[in-house]
Amino acid sequence: VPNAPAFRATRPVVAGAASERFEPVVQEYAARHGLRPDLVRAVIQVESGFNPFARSPKGAMGLMQLMPGTARDLGVRNAFDPVENIRGGTAYLRRLLDRYEGNEALALAAYNAGFDAVDRHGGRVPPYAETQNYVRKVGSAAEVQRGPARSKRVIYKTIDLVDGRPVVRYTSERPASGTYEVVGR
């Protein structure tokens, strides 16, 4: 990362102005990935305290504390750029939610400890104090849902062309391809 200052994440309680600075980006990428904005904000708060230059002792970077390999896999070139970081972090969070069928607690445990740790522990939150505390902290900030029911409440809107005319369709299943809009939670 070119000449980015690195600060250790301290996770302070953030005044509204600091978090509001990133609100349009949080809203955009939460909507793109069918995530609740409050969940994305809670992850950012716990991970970095809304410090875009945060760096953990293990090397995680930026607002959503992306590890270098994860950032690379997500196409994030500069993890200290708030837009790139939130884009990558929300894409990763969406992948984890899909992997664990909408179970936010398991997705958050995987975000913190890695999906291999969750899988090794039989699809449960690993018995690591750090991970359990992380899930609790993010969960209390975002009112995390424990099971797949949360994903069924999302309503997707698609527009298909039928005989040259647009036809609007709504579904609770995330479309496998094409463009869609999240219209309800």
* Active-site residue flag, 47: yes
In DSSP terms, 8 is beta-bridged to 55
**Helix, strand, or coil (residue 65):** coil
The strand pairing partners of 160, in sequence order, are: 167
DSSP sequence for 115-139: HHHHHHTTSS--S-HHHHHHHHHHH
> Rounded CA gap, 156 and 183, in Å?
6
In sequence order, the 6+-apart residues with CB closer than 8 A to the CB of 131 are 109, 112, 113, 117, 125
Catalytic residue among 20, 23, 28, 47: 47
Helix (H, G, I), strand (E, B) or coil at 6: coil
Burial profile 31-58: b = 16 or more Cβ within 10 angstroms, e = fewer: eebbbbbebbbbbbbbbbbbbbbbbeee
Residues identified as active-site:
47
